Structure 1
Amino acid sequence: MNTTQSLAGSAEPARSALDCLLRPRSIAIVGASPQFAKVNGRPLRHLIAKGYSGRIYPVNPKYPEIAGLACYPDVAALPEAPDLAIVALPARDVEACIAALGRRGVAAAVIFSSGFGEMGAEGRQIEQSLRACADAHGVLICGPNCLGFVNAFDNVYATFSQYADGDTGAGPVAFVTQSGAFGTAIAALVRQRGLGLGYFINTGNEAGVTFSDLMLAVIEDPRIRVAAGYMEGMRDGPGLVRLAQRCAELGKPLVLTKVGRMAAGVRAAASHTGSLAVEDDVFDAVLRQHGVLRARNEEQMLDMLEALCSDRVPQGTGLGIATQSGGAGVMMADRAEELGLEVPALAPQTQVMLARVMPAFGAAGNPVDVTGQFVANPDLLLESVVTLLTDPQVHVGIVWLQLMTAHVDLLVRIFCQIRDRTDKPFIICWVAAPPEAVRRLRAEGMVVFGAGERAVEAAAAMVRHRQALRVAAEQHAERAALAAAVARVAADVRGNGFRDGVQPTVQAAGWLHAAGVPMAPVALARHADEAVAAWRTAGGPVVLKIESPDITHKTEVGGVLLKLNDEVAVRQGYATLIQRAVAARPEARLDGVVVQPMATGQLELVIGVQRDPGFGMVLMVGLGGVLVEVLKDVVFRRAPFSEAEGLRMLDELRMRALLDGVRGQPAVDRAALAALLSRLSVWAAAMAPWLEELDLNPVLVGPAGPVGVDCVMVLGGPKAG
Structure 2
Amino acid sequence: MVRNLLAGAYAGKLAAVNPGYSDVEGVPCFATLSELSFQPEQVIFAVADTRIEAAIEDAIRAGMRSCVIYSALVLENDTAPPLVERVRRRLTAAGVLACGGNGMGYYNFIHGIHACGFDTRQHRGSGNVVLLSQSGAGMSGILDVEERLDFSLAVSPGQELTVSLEDYLDYALDQPETRVVGTFLETSRAPGRFIAALEKARRRRIPVVAVKTGRTPMSRELARSHSGALSGTDSVYDALFEKFGVYRAHDMDDMVTALIMHAQPHPVGPGGLVTLHDSGGERQLLIDLAEAAQVPLTALAPQSISALEALLDPGLPAVNPLDAWSAGGPEYHKIMKECFAVLLRDPGAALGAVVHDRGPGGSLYPIYLDYLWCGHKASGKPVFLVAATQGVGADPQVLESTRAGLPVMDGVSAFLRGVKAVLDYRDFLLLPDPEPPLPLGGRARQWQQRLASGATPDELEAMKCLADFGIPVVAMRRCSNEDEVLSAAEELGYPVVLKTAQAGMLHKSDVDGVRIRISNSQALCDAYADLAHRLGAHVTVSVYVPDPAVEMFLGMRSDAQFGPVVIMGFGGIHAEVLGDTVCLLPPFDADTAARLLNRLRLRPLLEGVRGAPAVDVTGFCRVAAAFSQLAVALGEVVQELDINPVRVRPDGCQAVDALIIPRRNTGAATPEPE
Structure 1 Cα separation of the partners of residues 474 and 217 of structure 2: 37
Counterpart of 2:129 in structure 1 is 173
Distance 1:80 1:655, change over 3 A: same
Counterpart of 1:442 in structure 2 is 402
Q: 1:138 aligns with which of 61, 86, 95?
A: 95
Q: Could you list the runs of 5+ residues in structure 1 that have no partner in the other structure?
A: 1-42, 267-276, 582-589
Shift of 1:174: 0.8
Q: 2:4 aligns with which of 37, 46, 51?
A: 46
Question: Identity of counterpart residues, as a percentage?
Answer: 26
Question: Within the alignment, does 1:393 sit opposite 2:393 as a pair?
Answer: no
Kindly provide the CA deviation profile for residues 201-222 of structure 1, in whole angstroms up to 9, marking residues without a partner as x: 1011122222221122123221
Question: Within the alignment, does 1:229 sit opposite 2:183 as a pair?
Answer: yes
Asked whether the equivalents of residues 116 and 124 of structure 1 are also in contact (C-alpha less than 8 Å), the reply is no
Counterpart of 2:374 in structure 1 is 417
Letter in 1 for 2:16: P
Shift of 1:373: 4.8
Shift of 1:265: 10
Structure 2 Cα separation of the partners of residues 88 and 152 of structure 1: 21
What does 1:648-659 correspond to in 2, within 5 Å?
Answer: 648-659=595-606
Counterpart of 2:545 in structure 1 is 599
Asked whether the equivalents of residues 438 and 629 of structure 2 are also in contact (C-alpha less than 8 Å), the reply is no
Asked whether the equivalents of residues 500 and 540 of structure 2 are also in contact (C-alpha less than 8 Å), the reply is yes
Counterpart of 2:139 in structure 1 is 183
Distance 1:63 1:393, change over 3 A: closer
Asked whether the equivalents of residues 336 and 460 of structure 1 are also in contact (C-alpha less than 8 Å), the reply is no
Q: 1:379 aligns with which of 334, 337, 345?
A: 334
Structure 2 Cα separation of the partners of residues 598 and 265 of structure 1: 46
Structure 1 Cα separation of the partners of residues 87 and 3 of structure 2: 28
Counterpart of 2:226 in structure 1 is none
TM-score by length of 2: 0.89
Letter in 1 for 2:92: D
Structure 2 Cα separation of the partners of residues 459 and 61 of structure 1: 55
Q: Could you list the runs of 5+ residues in structure 2 that have no partner in the other structure?
A: 221-230, 669-674
Structure 1 Cα separation of the partners of residues 591 and 634 of structure 2: 22
Secondary structure of the corresponding residue to residue 144 of structure 2: helix
Question: Within the alignment, does 1:620 sit opposite 2:567 as a pair?
Answer: yes
Kindly provide the CA deviation profile for residues 88-125 of structure 1, in whole angstroms up to 9, marking residues without a partner as x: 333354445545545554332222221349x9996874
- The range that moved more, 658-667 or 357-366, is 658-667
Question: Within the alignment, does 1:681 sit opposite 2:639 as a pair?
Answer: no
What does 1:484-495 correspond to in 2, within 5 Å?
Answer: 484-485=438-439, 491-495=445-449
Asked whether the equivalents of residues 617 and 688 of structure 1 are also in contact (C-alpha less than 8 Å), the reply is yes
Secondary structure of the corresponding residue to residue 398 of structure 1: strand
Shift of 1:593: 1.4
Secondary structure of the corresponding residue to residue 450 of structure 2: coil
Distance 1:414 1:375, change over 3 A: farther
Letter in 1 for 2:475: P
Structure 2 Cα separation of the partners of residues 427 and 343 of structure 1: 15
Secondary structure of the corresponding residue to residue 349 of structure 2: coil
Asked whether the equivalents of residues 690 and 718 of structure 1 are also in contact (C-alpha less than 8 Å), the reply is no
Question: Within the alignment, does 1:321 sit opposite 2:275 as a pair?
Answer: yes
Distance 1:439 1:78, change over 3 A: closer
Shift of 1:438: 3.0
Asked whether the equivalents of residues 7 and 114 of structure 2 are also in contact (C-alpha less than 8 Å), the reply is no
Shift of 1:354: 0.8
Letter in 1 for 2:552: L
Shift of 1:281: 2.1
Kindly provide the CA deviation profile for residues 42-99 of structure 1, in whole angstroms up to 9, marking residues without a partner as x: x223213432211123344666655555545555554443322223333354445545
Structure 2 Cα separation of the partners of residues 371 and 220 of structure 1: 48
Counterpart of 2:592 in structure 1 is 645
Counterpart of 1:23 in structure 2 is none
Shift of 1:370: 0.1
Counterpart of 1:469 in structure 2 is 429
Structure 1 Cα separation of the partners of residues 292 and 442 of structure 2: 42
Asked whether the equivalents of residues 101 and 139 of structure 1 are also in contact (C-alpha less than 8 Å), the reply is no
Question: Within the alignment, does 1:161 sit opposite 2:118 as a pair?
Answer: yes
Secondary structure of the corresponding residue to residue 222 of structure 1: coil
Asked whether the equivalents of residues 328 and 452 of structure 1 are also in contact (C-alpha less than 8 Å), the reply is no
Structure 2 Cα separation of the partners of residues 457 and 121 of structure 1: 47
Structure 2 Cα separation of the partners of residues 120 and 573 of structure 1: 67
Kindly provide the CA deviation profile for residues 615-646 of structure 1, in whole angstroms up to 9, marking residues without a partner as x: 21100111142231321211111112222222
Counterpart of 2:297 in structure 1 is 343
Shift of 1:298: 0.9
Kindly provide the CA deviation profile for residues 331-385 of structure 1, in whole angstroms up to 9, marking residues without a partner as x: 2223323333322331111111111111113221122210155663221011101
Structure 1 Cα separation of the partners of residues 329 and 232 of structure 2: 53
Kindly provide the CA deviation profile for residues 539-579 of structure 1, in whole angstroms up to 9, marking residues without a partner as x: 22211112245332221221111122434433332231244
Counterpart of 1:83 in structure 2 is 41
Secondary structure of the corresponding residue to residue 162 of structure 1: coil
Secondary structure of the corresponding residue to residue 452 of structure 2: coil
Asked whether the equivalents of residues 191 and 562 of structure 2 are also in contact (C-alpha less than 8 Å), the reply is yes
Asked whether the equivalents of residues 183 and 202 of structure 1 are also in contact (C-alpha less than 8 Å), the reply is yes
Structure 1 Cα separation of the partners of residues 27 and 353 of structure 2: 55
Letter in 2 for 1:323: H
Kindly provide the CA deviation profile for residues 145-203 of structure 1, in whole angstroms up to 9, marking residues without a partner as x: 1111111232212121333x544643221111111123321223323xx2122222101
Asked whether the equivalents of residues 322 and 368 of structure 1 are also in contact (C-alpha less than 8 Å), the reply is yes
Kindly provide the CA deviation profile for residues 512-536 of structure 1, in whole angstroms up to 9, marking residues without a partner as x: 1101111212222233333223222
Secondary structure of the corresponding residue to residue 696 of structure 1: strand
Letter in 2 for 1:178: Q
Distance 1:226 1:717, change over 3 A: farther
Asked whether the equivalents of residues 606 and 622 of structure 1 are also in contact (C-alpha less than 8 Å), the reply is yes
Secondary structure of the corresponding residue to residue 496 of structure 1: helix
Counterpart of 1:3 in structure 2 is none
- The range that moved more, 554-563 or 334-343, is 334-343
- The range that moved more, 361-370 or 96-105, is 96-105
What does 1:264-343 correspond to in 2, within 5 Å?
Answer: 279-343=233-297
Structure 2 Cα separation of the partners of residues 457 and 492 of structure 1: 48
Structure 2 Cα separation of the partners of residues 284 and 93 of structure 1: 42
Asked whether the equivalents of residues 354 and 372 of structure 2 are also in contact (C-alpha less than 8 Å), the reply is no
Structure 1 Cα separation of the partners of residues 150 and 604 of structure 2: 44
Q: 1:426 aligns with which of 380, 383, 405?
A: 383
Structure 1 Cα separation of the partners of residues 10 and 201 of structure 2: 29
Distance 1:76 1:580, change over 3 A: farther
Counterpart of 1:706 in structure 2 is 653
Structure 2 Cα separation of the partners of residues 375 and 216 of structure 1: 56
Counterpart of 1:25 in structure 2 is none
Question: Within the alignment, does 1:245 sit opposite 2:199 as a pair?
Answer: yes
Question: Within the alignment, does 1:57 sit opposite 2:11 as a pair?
Answer: no
Structure 2 Cα separation of the partners of residues 336 and 466 of structure 1: 18
Asked whether the equivalents of residues 453 and 667 of structure 2 are also in contact (C-alpha less than 8 Å), the reply is yes
Counterpart of 2:417 in structure 1 is 457
Asked whether the equivalents of residues 344 and 375 of structure 2 are also in contact (C-alpha less than 8 Å), the reply is no
Structure 2 Cα separation of the partners of residues 187 and 384 of structure 1: 37
Q: Provide the alpha-carbon RMSD of the alignment.
A: 3.0
Counterpart of 1:216 in structure 2 is 170
Counterpart of 1:20 in structure 2 is none
Structure 2 Cα separation of the partners of residues 549 and 122 of structure 1: 49
Structure 1 Cα separation of the partners of residues 264 and 385 of structure 2: 13
Structure 1 Cα separation of the partners of residues 637 and 87 of structure 2: 33
Letter in 1 for 2:509: T
Counterpart of 2:67 in structure 1 is 109
Asked whether the equivalents of residues 615 and 650 of structure 2 are also in contact (C-alpha less than 8 Å), the reply is yes
Structure 2 Cα separation of the partners of residues 475 and 488 of structure 1: 27
